[in-house]
Chains A and B, each alone.
Chain A
């Protein structure tokens, strides 16, 4: 544990950014750093697992233990990390392509397991780093280099999928709404279980349709909806369907959930990585009896 008072500088690295000026990912990075500072998580207790794509570079800019993995595999890598040392604050981060195309299978299974991981998806509805192809969240008819006649596939609805799969915390942030995004990330980290925070993070270079202005006009801020109750799963699902997921705020949170780690039999509170692994001779011999 660090003893002195932390500042935002404690969560930053000296690395210069590779992102385009104006990229939504700057806002996500800033919000994450602010949330970690507000929660006073010491940098050495943070493990950040990032995917491939522009968003996956987020780990380069956060002073924490960073694991930058293969495309689409943030979910299982983060699970292994969390189970390896459950004392850590584990954050996964990636883009819509990383999470909902190549990583879709892992996304659903991570939710089913409900480990205490916070997953930030920086959703810009396009592939940026490969210079402008359609993404699983691209709208039908969206013109890209790989869909010159417009995409003819139905877009993925990640939050509905998540709730259907049993997600216990689902939110959507917007990189332009820093205050709300910081609050959502803090709530996600504090939630005991898996938290999906899909974050609208516009691509200023390749997505000329879903721009900051477009989102500002299209998104409904759930904080402004009277009587919206994020503990009501049916209402959350209905809201997402009505609005085609164009909402921002806390969509759904199940209280009193038990994360995966708490449901494992014999799993101790101390991180596995910190334990003494020498087996007791009697325990080992008892096992050998099964083979005698």
Chain B
């Protein structure tokens, strides 16, 4: 009985493999397993290799699997490219229709799925046959797949349901017959009904934003951020809201500034090339102290870079990009449930600190699906932050309200259009307390200090916003520091290192600006060896840590080939670095 199985399907883009993979992942999630589903795809619509993997486990795992139990090949290219990922005892399931050729040592199970599907009256049954066969080879029960079919296609009539059921049965029978006793046996899912969601980071961010009161999304399509606009456009009509596909990213963020100024909670979502274009209006939002939220689903850069590949190369752009010095809060969710909470939190922070809040997502988080507990709407608060009092404004009369007044926190109450006597000038030019433009040196220094200092320490609801989450022993021998989607690999690596006898801990940085410097100092000073695990070439987080006075040695474990870290890969690289220093490893 296995506690984890890995299934992969590959072929040409446009063969319907995404929906096939979606069925497999959804059914496993509904059955009560934890699913982590990821894919390889290219920046083209049809043709070109694509493959989808589902890592199905009895516990929560959030990084790509080391090897595959059952791989489904829908073309020869899939076999040529991917069979190296099979476990030594793995099974290759292929459609015999394309006459698959495999190297020695590959255990091939092939039958003509295409012809069987045609006989059953619909060529699209081919993929359902493949699912049935996969379930049989992995030792998964067929019933949950059948239930899903009823749920999904029941409306289309009994014939469609019967056809799909028959395709599942046929696939399973064929595979069982051909495999003999070589099938895997996944341990059964937990008893009883399990209610969990299967979401991507983009889903989670969009749902968190909706729950958190976001009612305006302005964005320009870009991989891998587009779903966030699409989700907003899909659901806003149900409760009132506006999602506009803008003409470019300059306009997207400018619209957010306008909307934020009006008082509505506005957001845009983009990736590196869009973030570059947004720099001017990030400066404007910082200068005018207008709340808004920007999601960056980082991908391979610079320029067009690798649009469909993983990277975390935008930290400098998010924190320090653009001209001049402006306040920006940068949050870094690493899992879908964090993405949901961070998105809702981002709007509260924006309203409380009057500045842009950026969510540093990445392709691995944005696109890959994972099992999460249902998002809890009641856990989401909507806190509008310091606002001018309408009655007080009525009393004081016009030309008195100071939008940019001094205050101990540096955040001064906002008025909203419509409030009598709250009129003011919000300008990207340097200005005084009432918003009037001035280049007075004393005012300039005071305003710069106020804007930059107000975000030095983040609080929400009277409590500090955790900048870091640590899991592991006190004074670990090995400290792994990471953020974003690589955190899944870091957690697995810590386990693997633990099995080797090393006491390893993981520090997940949750806020990239302002950095949790005290915690980072304390942890790195108390750890034997510290490693910073990032998907970029310059070690941007490690750089920022050093620049901000984290003095203990931190070595970078970097990957910028476009693929995600795997847990055992991180463990191996850390191990190698330790061995190089002749540290005794059991």
Binding site for B on A (CB under 8 A): 1-2, 13-15, 42-47, 49, 59-60, 63-70, 72-73, 75-85, 87-88, 105-106, 109, 113, 264-268, 271-275, 277-281, 283-288, 291-292
List B residues 63-101 near A (Cβ within 8 Å).
none
B198 to chain A, nearest CB (A): 6
B199 at the interface (CB under 8 A from A): yes
Contact count band on B: 35 or more
Q: List 21 A-B contacts (CB under 8 A).
A: A60-B425, A65-B417, A66-B424, A68-B426, A70-B280, A70-B283, A76-B251, A76-B254, A80-B216, A81-B262, A109-B246, A265-B237, A266-B236, A266-B239, A266-B240, A273-B262, A273-B264, A283-B238, A288-B207, A291-B198, A292-B30
Give the docked Cα–Cα distance between A151 and B383 (Å). 54
User: Judging by beta carbons under 8 Å apart, are B422 and A67 in contact?
Assistant: no
Q: Of all chain A residues, which has the CB nearest B218? A: A80
Binding site for A on B (CB under 8 A): 30, 195-199, 203, 207, 210-211, 213, 215-216, 218, 235-242, 244, 246-248, 250-252, 254-266, 280-281, 283-284, 288, 374-375, 377-378, 382, 398-399, 416-429, 435-437
Q: Of all chain A residues, which has the CB nearest B263? A: A273
A275 to chain B, nearest CB (A): 7
User: Judging by beta carbons under 8 Å apart, are A284 and B262 in contact?
Assistant: no
User: Judging by beta carbons under 8 Å apart, are B263 and A85 in contact?
Assistant: yes
Give the docked Cα–Cα distance between A62 and B91 (Å). 74
A10 to chain B, nearest CB (A): 8
User: Judging by beta carbons under 8 Å apart, are A69 and B428 in contact?
Assistant: yes
Give the docked Cα–Cα distance between A21 and B260 (Å). 36
User: Judging by beta carbons under 8 Å apart, are B238 and A79 in contact?
Assistant: no
Q: Which residues does chain B contribute within 8 Å of A43, judged by CB atoms?
A: 398, 423
Q: Which residues does chain A contribute within 8 Å of B215, judged by CB atoms?
A: 272, 275, 277
Q: Of all chain A residues, which has the CB nearest B215? A: A272
Give the docked Cα–Cα distance between A106 and B249 (Å). 11
Q: Of all chain B residues, which has the CB nearest A280? A: B239
B36 to chain A, nearest CB (A): 15
B529 to chain A, nearest CB (A): 40
Q: Which residues does chain A contribute within 8 Å of B235, judged by CB atoms?
A: 287
User: Judging by beta carbons under 8 Å apart, are B250 and A76 in contact?
Assistant: yes
Residue in A75, A80, A113, A268 whose Cβ sees the most chain B Cβ within 10 Å: A80
User: Judging by beta carbons under 8 Å apart, are A70 and B258 in contact?
Assistant: no
Which of B247, B284, B417 contacts A85, CB < 8 Å?
Answer: B417
The A/B interface has a contact count, at CB < 8 Å, of 218
If the complex has contacts A65-B423, A80-B218, A277-B382, are A291 and B263 also in contact, measured as CB distance less than 8 A?
no
Q: Which residues does chain B contribute within 8 Å of A278, judged by CB atoms?
A: 213, 382
Give the docked Cα–Cα distance between A79 and B420 (Å). 22
User: Judging by beta carbons under 8 Å apart, are A272 and B436 in contact?
Assistant: no
Give the docked Cα–Cα distance between A2 and B421 (Å). 10
Q: Which residues does chain B contribute within 8 Å of A67, judged by CB atoms?
A: 257-258, 261, 288, 426-427
User: Judging by beta carbons under 8 Å apart, are A109 and B258 in contact?
Assistant: no
Give the docked Cα–Cα distance between A181 and B490 (Å). 66
If the complex has contacts A68-B428, A281-B377, are A44 and B421 also in contact, measured as CB distance less than 8 A?
yes
Give the docked Cα–Cα distance between A206 and B263 (Å). 40
Q: Which residues does chain B contribute within 8 Å of A46, judged by CB atoms?
A: 417
Which 10 A-B pairs rank lowest in CB-CB distance, beginning with the nearest?
Answer: A84-B262, A80-B258, A80-B255, A273-B263, A266-B237, A277-B213, A68-B427, A76-B251, A81-B258, A80-B259
Q: Of all chain A residues, which has the CB nearest B419? A: A44
User: Judging by beta carbons under 8 Å apart, are B417 and A88 in contact?
Assistant: yes
Q: Which residues does chain A contribute within 8 Å of B263, judged by CB atoms?
A: 84-85, 273-274
A57 to chain B, nearest CB (A): 8
B127 to chain A, nearest CB (A): 22
If the complex has contacts A59-B425, A106-B247, A288-B375, are A49 and B239 also in contact, measured as CB distance less than 8 A?
no
Q: Which residues does chain A contribute within 8 Å of B250, judged by CB atoms?
A: 72-73, 76, 106
User: Judging by beta carbons under 8 Å apart, are A279 and B210 in contact?
Assistant: yes
User: Judging by beta carbons under 8 Å apart, are B423 and A271 in contact?
Assistant: no
Q: Of all chain A residues, which has the CB nearest B199? A: A291
Q: Which residues does chain A contribute within 8 Å of B207, judged by CB atoms?
A: 287-288
If the complex has contacts A66-B426, A277-B213, are A13 and B238 also in contact, measured as CB distance less than 8 A?
no
Give the docked Cα–Cα distance between A242 and B30 (Å). 69
User: Judging by beta carbons under 8 Å apart, are B264 and A77 in contact?
Assistant: no
Q: Which residues does chain B contribute within 8 Å of A75, judged by CB atoms?
A: 251, 254
A88 to chain B, nearest CB (A): 5
Which of A60, A76, A277, A285 contacts B258, CB < 8 Å?
Answer: A76
Q: Which residues does chain B contribute within 8 Å of A79, judged by CB atoms?
A: 244, 255, 258
